[in-house]
Amino acid sequence: MIYHLLFPLHKTISVFNVFRYITFRTIYASLTAFLICFLLGPWVIRKLSYMQIGQYIRDDGPETHHKKAGTPTMGGTLIIFSIIVSTLLWTNLTNYFVWIVLLVTAGYGAIGFIDDYLMQIKKQSKGLNVRNKFLLQTILAILTGILVYTVPDFSTRVTVPFFKNISPDLGWGYILFAAFVIIGTSNAVNITDGLDGLAIGPLIIASAAYMVFAYVAGHFKIANYLQINYVAGSGEIAVFCGAMAGSGLGFLWFNSYPAQIFMGDVGSLALGAAIGTVAVITKQEILLALVGGLFVIETLSVIFQVGFFKMTNGRRIFRMAPLHHHFELKGWAEPKVIVRFWIIAIALALISMSTLKLR
């Protein structure tokens, strides 16, 4: 909205020309989202505590988690609110991709919200039933795949990192592939969200990395120079990524150890799906497995643990899955696990950035 209101004034006041630049709007989108979270955080925490939306802690988990009982959850509502407001303020609202990511973020947020609502407010211990949750996620992801597929000139080729000559064309199968990326990322982030700041840290890092990819993919000259897929209009997604990163930082202020608030499914499902959609739009779909490698590692730890458990009648690879529980049970202090996992996430994001040159 700021873009639409102020940029036209550049004809009379030349300084307003600055609103044309994606880089400028990305910076201010991050700051806006950060400030919304930072300033509203204490009020949201008070409100959630007052409404007794406090986390129930499973008794089969690590002992150290019992002291977290009652921490307000559903902080994802604040994250989504700040991302949406900031995006509406700073992006070019005639851009189709912006509306797609907003739809996914709000839609997956709604699924998570229903789940949290049933658990926290209706006090149903299981929340939304797994099958219904997956069904809703699938419908929304396929719809998103169709929306992206119908964008004129949107390539249905998949970019394979490090191999510029390999990019299989999936045709309409791209819709299913996009849906897989979105659902997978959403659930992987959800699984990772089990220690203070453990999910939001790597999400900030992934948003920052995709901010660069979106800018580059949407810039005809740079995309050509780097020989990556040019996606007309994807530059505006950099502004959205900026809002995600800023919002994440604002939320981390309160979610850092010892957390005063958790994001809940409303946050983890929405943010995971959002970053998955950004990966699809910027045509860096497979690279997300590296940018968000930490989410992949956490998910694989569960798959291997459950698989091994079933195959061997109850033997385990890890002391407990997802992987962060394994290290906690080994005696690492929670902040140690969190910061070390962040370090891994930063390293993976840096390697992924190198693919812009290595191909």
**What is the C-alpha to C-alpha distance for residues 243 and 20, in angstroms, rounded to an integer?**
17
Does residue 321 bind ligand 57M (CB under 6 A)? yes
The backbone torsions φ and ψ at residue 330, rounded to the nearest 5 degrees and listed phi first, read: -75, -10
Query: Pattern of binders to ligand 57M over 8-27, x per CB under 6 A?
Result: --------------------
Q: Which residues contact 69 (CB under 8 A, 6 or more apart)?
A: 54, 55, 56, 57
Interface positions, 61-120, toward ligand 57M (CB under 6 A): 61, 65, 68, 73
Interface residue with ligand 57M, options 193, 236, 285, 328 (CB under 6 A): 193
Q: Which residues contact 167 (CB under 8 A, 6 or more apart)?
A: 157, 158, 159, 160
Does residue 153 bind ligand 57M (CB under 6 A)? no
Amino acid at 45: I
Query: Pattern of binders to ligand 57M over 40-59, x per CB under 6 A?
Result: ---------------x-xx-
Smallest gap from residue 305 Cβ to ligand 57M (A): 5
DSSP labels, 158-214: PPPTT-TT---B-TTHHHHHHHHHHHHHHHHHHHH--STTTTHHHHHHHHHHHHHHH
Residue nearest to ligand 57M (CB): 61
Does residue 184 bind ligand 57M (CB under 6 A)? no
Interface residue with ligand 57M, options 110, 302, 339, 353 (CB under 6 A): 302
Helix, strand, or coil here: 231?
Answer: coil
Of the two residues 60 and 153, which places its CB atom closer to ligand 57M in the complex?
60
- CA terminus-to-terminus distance, the chain: 39
Of the two residues 62 and 293, which places its CB atom closer to ligand 57M in the complex?
62
Site residues (vs ligand 57M, CB under 6 A): 55, 57-58, 60-61, 65, 68, 73, 190-191, 193-196, 255, 259, 262-265, 268, 302, 305-306, 309, 316, 320-322
